[in-house]
């Protein structure tokens, strides 16, 4: 029995040394990052290609949550939390409310599909963009290890609530005005 446990212990030790040699924890971290990046791209394509507006809005919410997971995977915890709270929650609710306020007889007509040429053109432009981004990623020198960001939340809060409070409030009022304008346009002139 001790011989079998000794062999298992030796096998586990060999596996750990092999994992350290090939830097498996950093590979797992990169795999998680690319998994969430792929899911974010998949859900972003769903926003564009779903015919139903409600499905597009839910896909947009899933894209926001995947982007928050990307922030969390690179140790930007504050940005991940803000992404989930603001975009995953508030903006998604506003989008769904705006969809519900628009009158449509049939939801299938709310997001009509375009022709084949438009889809092919969009695919070619997207492919060229991705090819360019891949070339930049391959040809750019990368640092071997990410630098720790530390706790950036107090500095960001200080800047946002002291030096940049006026632009922050102007952006909030502008978004409110845009939402009210969208609701008025959606209701139509005959109802007012």
The 10s digit of each residue's pLDDT in 144-179 is 555 555 666 777 777 778 888 888 888 888 888 888
In our burial notation (b when 16+ CB lie closer than 10 A, e otherwise), range 80-91 reads: bebbbeebbeee
Q: Which domain holds residue 157?
A: 150-192
Calculate what percentage of the chain has a pLDDT beyond 90.
Answer: 8
Number of domains observed in the structure of the chain = 2
Residues 58 and 6 in one domain: yes
Contact predicate 111/52, CB 8 Å = yes
pLDDT of residue 67: 92
pLDDT of residue 106: 57
Residues 155 and 100 in one domain: no
Average pLDDT over residues 96-120: 64
Q: What are phi and psi of 81, to 5 degrees?
A: -65, -40
Structural element, H or E, at residue 44 = helix 24-49
Give the integer Cα–Cα distance in Å for 125 and 140.
22
Residues 74 and 20 in one domain: yes
Final residue of a structural domain among 111, 135, 167: 111
Final residue of a structural domain among 57, 91, 111: 111
Final residue of a structural domain among 111, 129, 163: 111
- Whether the full predicted model's pTM is greater than 0.85, yes or no, is no
Whether 128 is in a domain gets the answer: no
Whether 54 is in a domain gets the answer: yes
76 or 12, which is more confident?
76
Q: At what angle do helices 165-187 and 92-101 cross, to 10 degrees?
A: 20
Whether 135 is in a domain gets the answer: no
pLDDT of residue 113: 56
Residues 91 and 2 in one domain: yes
Whether 172 is in a domain gets the answer: yes
């Amino acid at each position: 029995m001790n011989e079998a446990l000794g062999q298992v212990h030796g096998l586990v030790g060999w596996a750990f040394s092999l994992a350290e040699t090939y830097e498996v924890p950093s590979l797992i971290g990169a795999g998680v990052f690319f998994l969430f990046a792929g899911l974010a791209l998949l859900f972003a394509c769903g926003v564009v290609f779903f015919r139903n507006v409600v499905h597009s809005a839910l896909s947009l919410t899933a894209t926001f949550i995947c982007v928050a997971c990307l922030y969390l995977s690179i140790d930007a915890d504050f940005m991940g939390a803000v992404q989930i709270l603001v975009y995953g929650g508030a903006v998604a609710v506003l989008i769904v409310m705006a969809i519900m306020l628009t009158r449509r007889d049939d939801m299938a007509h709310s997001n009509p599909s375009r022709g084949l040429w438009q889809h092919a053109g969009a695919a070619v432009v997207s492919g060229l963009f991705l090819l360019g981004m891949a070339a930049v990623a391959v040809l750019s020198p990368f640092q071997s290890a990410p630098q720790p960001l530390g706790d950036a939340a107090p500095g960001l809060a200080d800047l946002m609530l002291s030096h940049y409070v006026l632009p922050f409030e102007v952006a909030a009022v502008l978004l409110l005005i845009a939402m009210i304008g969208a609701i008025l346009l959606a209701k139509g002139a005959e109802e007012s």
